[in-house]
Structure 1
């Protein structure tokens, strides 16, 4: 499963030994610069640099990285296609006939589509860098050390854990239904999916009760203890992060208003 692979790569990443707060600050700064940029130049550079750092410095296989990015990238491309064809004004870039209707893309719509996909890529690559170099348990410990509300951190931990637990249960139930020809035809598919959803809801309720009982038996008082390993920030790391953030901020400022079409 992807979450197991993510944690495995994060645990084995050479960048895991770096200070988690510095990595978190770097990712947040890059995210802010990427989503606030008014041209695609800075977001594209951020996406490329973050991907390169994850693959080369984090030792993540390029093939796995590409597979991981396929689903969110496909969703983003679908949204960008809508923006390209139905938004914007100005000179027409291209047009086509679809079922007797003429659909075209304007220059402004194309620029907006490129900007949106570049921002999406930059944010996605920043989050992948953090997820593939920092185990989630350590990230939750950092959030708790930064005085985030205990209820928020603990709920996030439980949600992160049980999303994948119930996803695995759903996959097993679907495989069992498929082997029994439960998805042969539309009506059969709807019935099988409804049964799986109902059973999964009941499993969720049961697991929640078991979790509460187990935590209560261990004297849970409303707070979970998380330990953060001490990793001092080296001068070279702080300098490199500062130079990178300064460079992408300057790049976003200098390339503001730049147009492709």
Structure 2
């Protein structure tokens, strides 16, 4: 992997993280790098949003991985920063941390150790959460006299329901990796020393699909999360119809009948 270079001057010096590019594997990694706990600062949140927006526009990147250095993904935000930040800054917290969800490309979060507060919230905004058996998820804001402010309680409730979300949020409960997997919060739970291999495998799996079909599927699923069943089915039909005329769909059908691997181009 090589260090990623941004044209945006606001990303000339990254605060507490780095970005790496593996062009051969069409992969970009956003790596939290403020060990031992990878605390996420207020300025860092703005930069993370900008990075996702830049990677979304980069044709060299098919899949984005969000991971961290060390034994903990992130213990959460910089606590003093909340009191120092202006109301305007605080109002952008959820928007910034929703950047993985807005990104049209698949985003994988690789979580181990502590994944608390904003660390959990940005992971919830990703499409896939791979967890090692050491991982613990938590939204501990009640201990500070606060509530989650970056979309955590809202996203979690969609995944596990109001009863479990109240248990996690109102009691600041830690959820171990295996339980997170059983509840449908985590995509896959693996031994700690297999997390990188599982991430690599998922990247390669996702790259084998049509990028056009993947972007369409992600947007459709995100857009219909809150819709009625009839509207979701209607929108699914429209998306299917648009893909019907794509080069990738034709290639997929021809490859199927020829019993060969498809070579998708994203058009």
TM-score normalised according to structure 2 size: 0.28
**Which is helix-richer, 1 or 2?**
1
User: Whose RCO is larger (CA < 8 A, sep 6+)?
Assistant: 1
**Which is strand-richer, 1 or 2?**
2
TM-score normalised according to structure 1 size: 0.28
